[in-house]
Amino acid sequence: MAERPAVKIGVLVSGSGTNLQAILDAVARGDLKAEVRVVISNRARAYALERARNHGIAALAIDHRQFASREDFDRALVRELRARDVELVVCAGFMRLLSPVMLDAYTGRIMNIHPALLPSFPGIYGPRDALEYGVRISGCTVFFVTEGVDVGPIIIQSAVPVLPGDDEETLAARIHREEHRIYPEAIRLYQEGRLQVSGRRVIIRDADSASESLALANPRPR
C-alpha cells in the first residue's frame, strides 16, 4: 500500500503543553508522520506557545475573552486552522468547549485527551474526582470530540493504578506519563488511515490490541 503523507495538525492548548511536547518528540523521532502547522492558545502566557516557538512552529494566542460568543471565537479558530491547511485538530489541555462552528468545520477530525477512564470522571477535575471516589484504577482516554463534554467515540485508553498515599498531584503525574504515550499513538493511527467511527465505537484496522491475558488488578491478588 502506498505510504500516506504526513498529517497536517493544528494543536489547541491552554497551558503547559507536555502533550504537545510528546507529539513534537514523536515526530522528531520519526514515530509519527505529522506536521504541526500551528499551535493556538486561548491564553497568551501558556508555556505551550513557547514550546511551539522553540520548534519553529507558528504559535498564536487568541484570547477568547475578546469575542462576544463561543461561536465567534470558534470562527477565528477555524480561520487560522484552515489558513494553514490543517486536517486534524488536536486538543491538548485546551480548556474551552467547542461550539458547532468548530465541530461542523472539522467533523470527525478533532481529538481530545482526558485524564480519566471515560465515561468515568469527565470534566476538569478527572484525577481529583477519581481519587475522591476511591477507584483503584484510573487512567486516560483519547477520543474524538463531539457535542457534549468528554463523550465522543473512544480511540485509546491506558490504565494506571491508584496507589496508597496518592494525592491529586501524584496520580495526575502517573496519568500524564501515559497520556504522552497514547496521544501520539492515536494520531499515528489516524495518519495511517486506520480509524473508522461506527456510532459510538471506533474500529481500528489491524489494531495491536492488548493481550487477552493482560489485566491490571489493584491491589494485586495473591
| Best CA proximity match to 90, nearest among 20, 41, 176, 151 | 20
As a whole number of Å, the CA-based R_g of the chain is 17
- Report, in Å, the least distance between residue 146 CB and ligand GRF: 16
Residue number with CB closer to ligand GRF (15 or 108): 15
Q: Which residue is nearest to ligand GRF (CB)?
A: 93
Residue number with CB closer to ligand GRF (75 or 120): 120
Identify whether 64 is a catalytic site residue.
no
- Give the range of 61-69, 112-120, 129-137, 207-215 binding ligand GRF by CB under 6 A: 112-120
Count Cα atoms within 13 angstroms, Cβ side, for 166.
Answer: 24
| Best CA proximity match to 158, nearest among 136, 134, 181 | 181
Catalytic pick among 64, 114, 176, 180: 114
- Report, in Å, the least distance between residue 15 CB and ligand GRF: 4
- Report, in Å, the least distance between residue 222 CB and ligand GRF: 34
- Give yes or no for residue 18 binding ligand GRF (CB under 6 A): yes
Dmax over Cα atoms in the chain, in whole Å?
59
- Give yes or no for residue 150 binding ligand GRF (CB under 6 A): no
Tell me how far the alpha carbon of residue 43 is from its chain's centroid. Answer: 18
**Helix, strand, coil: what percent of the chain each, to 5?**
35, 25, 45
Q: Applying CB under 6 A, which residues contact ligand GRF?
A: 15-19, 92-93, 113-115, 176, 179
